[in-house]
Amino acid sequence: MSPIPFTPAALATCLEKMHGRAVREVRIAPLGAGSQGDKGYGYGIPLRIDYLLEGEPRKAVLETVRPGPFGHEHMADRAQLVLWAHRAFGALPRHVASLGSGALRAGGELVELGDAQEFFLVTEFVEGTEYAGDLLRLRGGQPLGERDLARADALADYLAQIHARRGSDPGLYARRVRELVGHGECIFGVVDSYPERFAFIDAGLLRSIEHRCLDWRWKLKGRAERLRQVHGDFHPWNILFREGVDFTALDRSRGEWGEPADDVACLTLNYLFFSLQRSGRLEGGFEMLFRRFWERYLERSADAALLEVVAPFYAFRALVMASPVWYPTLEEAVRRRLFDFLLSVLGEERFDPARANAYCGL
């Protein structure tokens, strides 16, 4: 990690905002000469700050978090730790207090964020209609058209294109697989959102699914050569179409890099999901879209190995779709088919798109 260019002038300005008083003669030095002693790894190197606060000598420590493994790969990960520490340090008796927290801008300016309550994001506005509207139309009995086929092709081509970009950090692949199982937004978090019992779904069933997904984590975590650029939440409500096949993707999630099977499972399971709601099985236009997408994606990506790793990603998405929290009015028969599907694919060494109905017990 390259030293972060904190300058006395920038720190003086930031300290003045924290204290609300004038700061002069700022001096910066590594705390303890930056030594870790016998410790083999540390999350960062603290800096000692000496300064005058309206003529009174003061000392402080500036801490940063180094990029690296242990969930610190992304800038947002490191920001989370800093913002949490600012609020939590002073809440524990006999713990050192935080004077403030901040961020380093590209030009070297320090921005004080200690009094922040919530953070927000502003994006550009894009015209378009959710791709889910197309699937709802087909679920309602409208015929499959050439535009439907063209859009499925465009989405398959798009994923093949973004997945062609390889990642360079093997640890990010292990992290993404770990988060698939343990993240609050993924398998364990979704399982915990289920009621204690709901229809045929009970703790024993969910626990057995978790155990099988843990087995899949150990199958996948060593396949770091598969690390690719991903979207991370490529479902029909995150895709806005305009005329023809012109579309924009929204709300990518959980990191820039991961397993391509996540995106493919996220979208293709929706073809099965909507078809199950319409007729209780994958058939007609939805089956054509499902099979066509898989065939085109595999052709464009040349990634036949994806069929060996997609199962737990399908399990994650099926748990969301079968959830009474996310889909409270879904018919029980559809929930059963989704559970049949996820249990079946978790037991397969290699997913076969042609057997989607068989995986559903049909």
DSSP notation for 8-47: HHHHHHHHHHHHSS-EEEEEEEEGGGG--TT-S--S---E
Q: Which amino acid is at 163?
A: H
Question: Are 200 and 93 in the same domain?
Answer: no
Question: Are 147 and 69 in the same domain?
Answer: no
Q: Is 124 among the domain residues? A: no
Pair of tokens at residue 191: 């399982």
Question: Are 194 and 159 in the same domain?
Answer: yes
Question: Are 79 and 215 in the same domain?
Answer: no
- Looking at residues 240-245, what average pLDDT do you find? 96
As to burial, measured by CB atoms within 10 angstroms (0-12 exposed, 13-18 middle, 19+ buried), residue 148 is buried
Q: Is 54 among the domain residues? A: yes
DSSP state of 2: P
CATH code, domain carrying 311: 3.90.1200.10
Residue 127's pLDDT band, with cuts at 50, 70 and 90, is very high
Question: Are 232 and 335 in the same domain?
Answer: yes
183-219 per-position pLDDT tens digit: 999 999 999 999 999 999 999 999 999 999 999 999 9
Query: What's the pLDDT score for residue 40?
Result: 55
Q: For 293-321, give one letter per residue: b (16+ CB within 10 A) or e.
A: bbebbbebbebeebbbbbbbbbbbbbbbb
Q: How far apart are CA 320 and CA 193, in angstroms?
A: 10
As to burial, measured by CB atoms within 10 angstroms (0-12 exposed, 13-18 middle, 19+ buried), residue 329 is exposed
- Looking at residues 240-251, what average pLDDT do you find? 95
Question: Are 103 and 151 in the same domain?
Answer: no
Comparing 106-115, 157-166, 286-295, the range with the smallest average pLDDT is 106-115
Q: Is 121 among the domain residues? A: no
Residues of the chain above pLDDT 90, percent: 71
Query: What's the pLDDT score for residue 327?
Result: 94
Question: Are 248 and 344 in the same domain?
Answer: yes
Query: What's the pLDDT score for residue 109?
Result: 81
Tell me the CA distances in angstroms from 207 to 14, 85, 110, 234, 313, one per residue in order. 50, 34, 47, 27, 17
Q: How far apart are CA 40 and CA 28, in angstroms?
A: 24
Q: How far apart are CA 169 and CA 133, in angstroms?
A: 38
210-235 per-position pLDDT tens digit: 999 999 999 999 999 999 999 999 99
Query: What's the pLDDT score for residue 38?
Result: 57
HSE, side-chain direction, 13 A CA sphere, residue 66 = 11
Q: Is 123 among the domain residues? A: no
Domain boundary among 112, 146, 162: 112
Residue 5's pLDDT band, with cuts at 50, 70 and 90, is confident
DSSP state of 232: S
Residue 94 has pLDDT above 80, yes or no: yes
Identify the residue with better confidence: 1 or 166: 166
Query: What's the pLDDT score for residue 249?
Result: 95
Domain boundary among 79, 112, 145: 112
Question: Are 190 and 282 in the same domain?
Answer: yes
Identify the residue with better confidence: 38 or 87: 87
Question: Are 135 and 255 in the same domain?
Answer: yes
Q: Is 185 among the domain residues? A: yes
Q: Is 120 among the domain residues? A: no
Question: Are 208 and 257 in the same domain?
Answer: yes
23-70 per-position pLDDT tens digit: 999 999 888 644 455 555 567 778 899 999 999 999 988 888 888 887
Question: Are 148 and 220 in the same domain?
Answer: yes
Residue 1 has pLDDT above 50, yes or no: no
- Looking at residues 251-255, what average pLDDT do you find? 89
By residue range, what is the domain housing residue 67? 8-112
Question: Are 149 and 262 in the same domain?
Answer: yes
Query: What's the pLDDT score for residue 35?
Result: 46
- Domain count for the chain: 2
- Looking at residues 77-94, what average pLDDT do you find? 87
Q: Is 119 among the domain residues? A: no
Q: What are the helix and strand counts (H, E) for the chain? A: 12, 12
Domain boundary among 112, 145, 163: 112
Residues of the chain above pLDDT 70, percent: 96
CA angle centred on 237, ends 158 and 325, rounded to 5°:
135
Query: What's the pLDDT score for residue 32?
Result: 66
